[in-house]
Amino acid sequence: MPPTEAEVAALRLYATEAARNSYSPYSHFRVGAAILLQADQRQDGAIVAGTNVENASYRLTCCAEQSAIAAAVTLYGPEIRIRAIAIVNLNGAASMPCGACRQTLLEFSTQETAVFYPNADGETVSATLAALLPDAFRLATE
Ligand code: THU
């Protein structure tokens, strides 16, 4: 089920709060992400947020989306499923999830997982993860 307007507003609020804690002394790009978990089992429709955490060895940087996923698994366990995620930044810029984050989101997504992000015009737009990551890699073992 797609998130309601109120749920998206809550996600954006949580993401904005998380972005205030961004550790981004190198890029100064302050990103926040908030995940709405499916309301079943232990997940309880909870919202879990994360921010980007950079490193002097640049490639060790953790994106906001990945921080949020790590926090959600830590809090709710390996069975989590993402109903929706909102991404924001405090720089007034576009903020679509990077390719690595799309693959990371896929791990815990469904066919319906919705991604909300600001586009270049400053509007919040939404897309399914399936649309953002077509023909995605999936590990096929026997
Ligand atoms: N960043 C994210 O947090 N999420 C993305 O999907 C793209 C990039 C962060 C990483 C780095 O701290 C800063 O934005 C600039 O790339």
* pLDDT at position 43: 62
The pLDDT of residue 141 is 84
The domain 5-132 is placed in CATH, from the list 3.10.105.10, 3.40.605.10, 3.40.50.11540, 3.40.140.10, at: 3.40.140.10
Q: What is the pLDDT of residues 25-63, one digit of tens each?
A: 999 999 999 999 998 756 678 999 999 999 999 999 999
If you take atom 7 of ligand 1, which residue's CA is the nearest one? 98
Q: Encode pLDDT of 105-126 as tens digits.
A: 999 999 999 999 999 999 999 9
- Tell whether ligand 1 has an atom less than 6 A from the beta carbon of residue 103: no
Give me the pLDDT at residue 103, please: 98
For 76-90, the pLDDT digits (tens) are 999 999 999 999 999
Residue with CA closest to ligand 1 atom 10: 63
Through-space distance between the first and last CA atoms of the chain, rounded to whole angstroms: 32
- How do residues 6-31 score in pLDDT, each as one tens digit? 999 999 999 999 999 999 999 999 99
**Residue 127 bridge partners (DSSP):** 115
For ligand 1, whether the C-beta of 101 sits within 6 Å is yes
pLDDT above 90 as % of the chain:
92
Asked about 7 being catalytic, the answer comes back as: no
What is the amino acid identity at position 41?
A: Q
Q: Residue 61, exposed/middle/buried by CB under 10 A (0-12, 13-18, 19+)?
A: middle
- Which value, to the nearest 10 degrees, does the dihedral of the CA atoms of residues 81, 83, 89, 94 take? 120
